């Protein structure tokens, strides 16, 4: 039985201390949706089948295929056919985009050389947002509490856009990239100012996550997991503060610590 368009109840044999029990369990659903841009097949996204408008827009935005809301002319989701159709102002990035199949768990499939050089064409984030460790810890606790699909299934990642005083948007998906794209798509559609916001992740910080944060203009990225070396190299180039292993009162600040107010640290501009 489908629930919430994304959850399915399945029969399961649960084994505890050698004893079998026939019961039910809720598992997360995933489905492929092929994205067409201006009538041309662009990519197939395997995703949690909800919040598809945000996913499509966020994907196009973080890939550089949409620059501003006025570029978006139409969006149609056909769930029966597994198709999302978007019409938009053509861009140079659209001509050079590499068609590929995007899985729910990994990266986008572009070569590292293309991806890194494309990312370094972005403008560095210069927003002067400052946070303290207690704020980052509290926001990560809110992310974990708000990840309701994860608590039901254990099968999704969560991402959120937050201000220092609380979470603004929270989305979940079977893929880390998809969850972040949904957040970015919502912010894009609402034309939200992001220079004073944080991007929160439940999963590891890869290079593409840093690029998405930079594309969105978010100065601080906080995750409960680890970053990769390439992610930190790009964060250094793109002006993004990366905080990893943010769990309770503990965390690691990897790049641009100027945005984090440590105990006893002199405030900026003082």
CA 57-58-61 angle, 5° bins: 85
CB-CB neighbours of 11 under 10 Å? 8
**Does residue 47 carry a catalytic annotation?**
no
In which element (H, E) is residue 244 found?
A: strand 241-247
Helices (H), 128-206: 133-146, 148-153, 176-189
CA proximity to 175, closest of 58, 259, 64: 58
Catalytic residue among 47, 105, 106, 184: 106
Of 110, 63, 97, nearest to 55 (Cα)? 63
Considering just the CA atoms, what is the radius of gyration of the chain in Å?
Answer: 19
CA distances from 268 to 38, 127, 158, 199, 253 (A): 47, 13, 32, 22, 17
Query: What distance in Å separates the CA atoms of residue 135 and residue 51, rounded to the nearest whole number?
Result: 28
Instruction: Give the catalytic positions in this structure.
Output: 106
């Amino acid at each position: 039985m489908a629930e919430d368009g994304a959850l399915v109840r399945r029969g399961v044999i649960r084994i505890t201390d050698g004893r079998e029990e026939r019961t039910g369990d809720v598992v997360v659903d995933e489905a492929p949706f092929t994205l067409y841009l201006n009538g041309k097949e662009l990519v197939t996204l395997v995703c949690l089948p909800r919040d598809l408008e945000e996913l499509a827009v966020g994907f196009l935005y973080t890939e550089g295929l949409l620059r501003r809301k006025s570029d978006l002319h139409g969006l149609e989701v056909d769930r029966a056919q597994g198709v999302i159709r978007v019409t938009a102002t053509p861009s140079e990035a659209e001509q050079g985009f590499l068609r590929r199949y995007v899985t729910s768990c990994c990266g986008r499939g572009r070569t590292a050389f293309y991806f890194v050089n494309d990312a370094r064409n972005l403008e560095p984030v210069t927003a002067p947002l400052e946070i303290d460790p207690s704020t980052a810890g509290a926001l990560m606790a809110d992310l974990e509490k708000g990840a309701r699909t994860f608590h039901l299934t254990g099968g999704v990642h969560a991402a959120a856009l937050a201000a220092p005083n609380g979470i603004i948007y929270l989305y979940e998906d079977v893929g880390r990239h998809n969850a972040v794209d949904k957040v970015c798509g919502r912010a894009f559609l609402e034309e939200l100012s992001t220079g004073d916001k944080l991007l929160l992740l439940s999963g590891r910080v890869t290079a593409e996550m840093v690029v998405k944060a930079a594309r969105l203009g978010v100065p601080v990225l906080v995750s409960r997991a680890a970053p990769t070396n390439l992610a930190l190299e790009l964060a250094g180039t793109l002006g993004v503060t990366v905080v990893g292993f943010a769990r309770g009162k503990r965390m690691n600040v990897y790049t641009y610590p100027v945005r984090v107010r440590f105990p006893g640290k002199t405030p900026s501009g003082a």
